[in-house]
């Protein structure tokens, strides 16, 4: 039976005997029962029936004795829901459809039950629904019938299942659900609030279970994960929804290399077989290298065109704007060498690049943006710069632990969050020159997109207190529960948040 | 390697080579590295080290040459976190501890690294923390270190994993995450609200994904499940929290028997092996039988003591209160036969039962409550009524579809929710005598607790409209999106919600 061998039985316990998409010449002569949606009728001869697995052709009997059945089938509107019983037969020679997975067979109908007749729909259901985004959202239950969306939802479900198997069954992680009705996080400006029954008191929907998972490590859970629903009140953006799901992982007695190996193994294990095999370990790069060579902390490493520092070249230049740039504190002159740029770029392209440079001047990833813009321009002119099927995973390491506050550059703020541990060799700098401290933070980047980030955390109360009080000048009493927990036998621990389930 | 064979490797990628609890004579002579918490020190000779897997005894070397190591180990406070490296050796004859899984061996320490020194804690960490509930909650990260809580969290994680395997890998269900920031459900009085950025507009945190899962069936997802976070704003009760998790299941092209088999298989598959094997199918009982024999719709069937109708016996009685009871519309005289009750019940017991009868008079499950109270009283007097290790699963079927409204008995309201389909043989009564219609609703009961409930849903827009408009006298425009979806090719479908993850 199915259960014993863990064989997938998508027709178990239902009215159907088979799914539409699984039928082939192996079933020739068998009586089958299918349930599904009418994709379309053809010449009053065929009903094309669809379920989640694919399409099958139902042959409408033409004999006088089957006139009732014929009438019932010919009356069907598109997207009506039926159960059809019939016999699988080989299609007559020459009528096979090589473009259809079940194109060798058809089902000669012997009975039909109409579950529901469908009204006229606002758009047609095809492999890919071609209508406005807003209409697709309004009739999401129709949009999801397209084979593309069916495949996407199933792929996500299977990916998540594989990740769970890897974490639970291979590495002994414990799936713990943490509360979402929580108290406000200090500094959590973008949190939704939920009024409680007590007037003037609110819950808060947290942006991540960061505090919970650190407390779970203090609790000796050893290895925690959660497909965590998170919330962010900043209005909808194209790539950010108010609620989203992150793969949240935390481990005790681990270092950066351990977390990196875990995540590499996780992606390898859960990667869909049809997308090829991922090779690990992934490339690593320090933050300093990323900024120097790519002008951004999440470089797209599918192509080179690295930044070139021309400071030495123009050291004694008399060109005024270059001299002025070089004389600024931290000022530099850098170039991107665009292969065939002279040939492929038009005057308006150069004008556009100049515009970008002017509007974004003084903002950090300007040079990185210009590099990406040049690549996109080259591609729009037909040059091949990036292989669209390539997957360049990259770890960016050794981020600065603190950055000057934008509104007051004399003050420091955490580059990520105040729980990140310093690099062991930089720990002493916490007391003497905190701005130079590098953190044990790591970002996972894929083709220039940040798809995850995490860190080894501070596990000593005294160090956490020093960071909060002396470096960040924050009120440590807001995090007294965490400080107390760290003083109660906290193991060394670290983790990561992976964002890609929300894309 | 671990990954290839899906063998569990709880020490992978970490500082330790083994977990404390896995060590045995098989490891004799091996050098191992353990990470964990100091359970206690014994006679300056032993450190008992704990991790999530159990305890191991570390022997403190006594030679002069190891004086630094000895000093470091003897200085440790309870619950400090350390890494110990040493050699596994057989305990000297007579010093084995048969009560300790690792009691045949000890680890002769050769090195120690102290990760964190623990301050004095508010309570001791033992197998079962004996302190007030409020202190356990305040220091939840300490409470969770107890072996009991460690076991509970791990059991839940494994149970959920097995359920996912059964649903995804055996029966082809798709794990779909539905939104929790939703619009208000008509009649959803107990929903939390979440203010949006638009003044005066709110999201609502739904009590269940009922509407989403029905729309997913209309979308052709075929089989959906979700470990769904649900919210209920009714203040905390001992067995109900404001947020909780339900196993939410919905299937297309299925009948009641199909859903019952699925859930029985789900529980059999995921049941922990050490708790024995569950036998299926589970017992079934109609609502009418449950009310007649047990006086409640979730009977505890571990014991008999069924209600006995004495209406016939007292038909011509002259006892005034019995006569009066029988003459009321729907009035009855019923008895519970309490075995050895005459011997075991004291006068105050009878007085208490009478009190209960008086205070709960006229409320529905009074007789059911009295039966349970009698059983509890018998047990408190030493009689054995219920086997505490027995598991009596029971399906209760054929609930009434509608009940008279408490505030206006002329009006009907849904016994569960307005989406439940009638029994096929009762469909005609929807138009003539709706109060007599039985619904395709099923409750799953375990030892007298409701642990799940669901139904086959209405899948025809016309029938759903009739129920909303003509029977329930509700404004159907509030559910116009659902009615429109049902008219767009909705398959027959049904599902269930299982509550037991929240207990």
Q: What is the pLDDT of residues B44-103, one digit of tens each?
A: 999 999 999 999 999 999 999 999 999 999 999 999 999 999 999 999 999 999 999 999
What pLDDT does residue B3 have? 41
Q: With a cut of 50, list the residues of chain B below it in pLDDT.
A: 1-4
ipTM tops the 0.85 cut: yes
Asked if B80 and B90 count as a contact pair (C-beta separation under 8 A), the reply is: no
Does A253 sit within 8 Å of B15, measured CB to CB?
yes
Mutate to test the interface with A, among B84, B488, B500 (most CBs of A within 10 A): B488
Q: Where are the domains of chain B?
A: 2-116, 303-386
Q: What is the mean pLDDT of chain A?
A: 93
Calculate the alpha carbon distances from B256 to B228, B269, B420, B451, B486 in Å: 22, 20, 12, 17, 20
Residue A4 has pLDDT above 70, yes or no: no
What pLDDT does residue B6 have? 63
Does A487 sit within 8 Å of B118, measured CB to CB?
yes
**Which residues in chain B have their CB less than 8 angstroms from residue A52's CB?**
220-222
What dotted CATH number matches B303-386? 3.30.1360.30
What pLDDT does residue B2 have? 42
What pLDDT does residue A414 have? 95
* Higher-confidence position of A236 and B180: B180
Distance from CA of B139 to the nearest CA of A (A): 8
Asked if A395 and A444 count as a contact pair (C-beta separation under 8 A), the reply is: yes
Does A8 sit within 8 Å of B119, measured CB to CB?
no
Q: Does domain B2-116 have CATH number 2.40.50.140?
A: yes
Residue in A8, A13, A116 nearest the CB of B261: A13
Does A488 sit within 8 Å of B118, measured CB to CB?
yes
CA distance B32 to B111: 11
What pLDDT does residue B294 have? 98
- Nearest-Cα residue of chain A relative to residue B155: A174
Exposed, middle or buried, B479 (CB in 10 Å: 0-12/13-18/19+)? Answer: buried
Does B115 sit within 8 Å of A265, measured CB to CB?
no
Calculate the alpha carbon distances from A302 to A298, A448, B406 in Å: 12, 8, 68
- Nearest-Cα residue of chain B relative to residue A492: B115
What dotted CATH number matches A173-270? 3.30.930.10
Residue A5 has pLDDT above 70, yes or no: no
pLDDT digits (tens, 9 = 90+) for A68-91: 999 999 999 999 999 999 999 999
Structure tokens at A317: 């230049």
Query: Which of A324-348 are b and which e, b meaning 16 or more Cβ less than 10 Å from the residue's Cβ?
Result: ebbeeeeeebbebebeebeebbeee
Non-local (6+) Cβ contacts of B35 within 8 A are: A252, A253, A491, B14, B15, B16, B51, B81, B82, B83, B84, B115
Average pLDDT over residues A39-61: 97
**Which residues in chain B have their CB less than 8 angstroms from residue A120's CB?**
none
Residue in B2, B80, B141 nearest the CB of A485: B141
What pLDDT does residue A188 have? 65
Residue in B179, B218, B459 nearest the CB of A141: B218
Does B215 sit within 8 Å of A205, measured CB to CB?
no
Distance from CA of A351 to the nearest CA of B (A): 39
Q: How many C-alpha atoms does B492 have within 13 Å on its Cβ side?
A: 20
Non-local (6+) Cβ contacts of A143 within 8 A are: A129, A136, A137, A149, B219
Distance from CA of A84 to the nearest CA of B (A): 12
Q: What is the DSSP letter of B206?
A: -
What pLDDT does residue B5 have? 53
Does A459 sit within 8 Å of B116, measured CB to CB?
yes
What pLDDT does residue B1 have? 34
3-state class (DSSP) for residue B223: strand
What pLDDT does residue A130 have? 79
Q: End-to-end alpha-carbon separation of chain B, Å?
A: 38
Average pLDDT over residues A377-397: 95
Does B174 sit within 8 Å of A157, measured CB to CB?
yes
pLDDT digits (tens, 9 = 90+) for A405-416: 988 999 999 999
**Which residues in chain B have their CB less than 8 angstroms from residue A119's CB?**
487-488
pLDDT digits (tens, 9 = 90+) for A140-157: 999 999 999 999 999 999
What pLDDT does residue A223 have? 98
Residue in A2, A141, A218 nearest the CB of B141: A218
What pLDDT does residue A1 have? 34
pLDDT digits (tens, 9 = 90+) for A344-376: 999 999 999 999 999 988 788 899 999 999 999
Residue in A3, A51, A259 nearest the CB of B222: A51
Does A165 sit within 8 Å of B118, measured CB to CB?
no
């Amino acid at each position: 039976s199915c259960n014993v061998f863990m064989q997938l039985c998508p027709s178990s316990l239902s009215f159907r005997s088979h799914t539409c998409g699984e039928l082939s010449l192996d079933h020739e002569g068998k009586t089958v029962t299918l349930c599904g949606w009418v994709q379309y009728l053809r010449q009053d001869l065929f009903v094309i029936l669809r379920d989640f697995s694919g399409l099958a052709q139902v042959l409408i009997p033409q004999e006088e004795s089957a006139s009732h059945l014929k009438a019932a089938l010919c009356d069907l509107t598109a997207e009506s829901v039926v159960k059809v019983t019939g016999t699988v037969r080989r299609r007559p020679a020459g009528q096979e459809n090589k473009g259809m997975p079940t194109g060798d067979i058809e089902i000669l109908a012997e009975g039909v039950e109409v579950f529901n007749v469908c009204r006229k729909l606002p758009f047609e259901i095809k492999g890919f629904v071609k209508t406005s985004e807003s209409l697709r959202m309004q009739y999401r239950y129709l949009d999801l019938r397209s084979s593309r969306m069916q495949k996407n939802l199933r792929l996500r479900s299977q990916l998540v299942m594989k990740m769970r198997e890897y974490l639970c069954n291979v590495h002994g992680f414990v799936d713990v659900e943490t509360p979402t009705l929580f108290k406000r996080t200090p500094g959590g400006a973008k949190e939704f609030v939920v009024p409680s029954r007590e007037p003037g008191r609110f819950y808060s929907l947290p942006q991540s279970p960061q505090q919970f998972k650190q407390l779970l490590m203090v609790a000796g859970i050893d290895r925690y994960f959660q497909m965590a629903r998170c919330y962010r009140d900043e209005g909808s953006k194209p790539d950010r929804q108010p609620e989203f799901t992150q793969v949240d992982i935390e481990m005790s007695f681990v270092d950066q290399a351990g977390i990196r190996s875990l995540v590499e193994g996780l992606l390898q294990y859960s990667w869909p077989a049809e997308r090829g095999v991922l090779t690990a370990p992934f490339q690593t790069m320090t933050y300093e290298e990323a900024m120097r060579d790519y002008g951004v902390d999440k470089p797209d490493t599918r192509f080179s065109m690295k930044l070139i520092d021309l400071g030495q070249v123009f050291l004694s230049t008399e060109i005024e704007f270059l001299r002025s740039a070089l004389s600024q504190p931290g000022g530099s002159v850098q170039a991107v060498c665009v292969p065939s740029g002279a040939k492929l770029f038009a005057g308006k392209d150069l004008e556009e690049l100049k515009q970008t440079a002017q509007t974004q001047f003084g903002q950090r990833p300007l040079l990185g943006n210009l590099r990406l813009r040049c690549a996109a321009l080259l591609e729009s002119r037909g040059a091949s710069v990036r292989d669209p099927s390539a997957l360049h995973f990259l770890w960016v390491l050794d981020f600065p632990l603190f950055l000057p506050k934008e509104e007051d550059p004399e003050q420091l703020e955490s580059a990520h969050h105040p729980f990140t541990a310093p690099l062991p060799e930089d720990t002493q700098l916490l007391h003497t020159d905190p701005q130079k401290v590098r953190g044990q933070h790591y970002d996972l980047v894929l083709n220039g997109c940040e798809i995850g980030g995490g860190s080894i955390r501070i596990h000593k109360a005294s160090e956490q207190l020093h960071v909060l009080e002396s470096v960040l000048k924050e009120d440590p009493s807001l995090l007294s529960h965490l400080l107390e927990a760290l003083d109660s036998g906290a193991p060394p621990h670290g983790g990561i948040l992976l964002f890609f389930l929300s894309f």
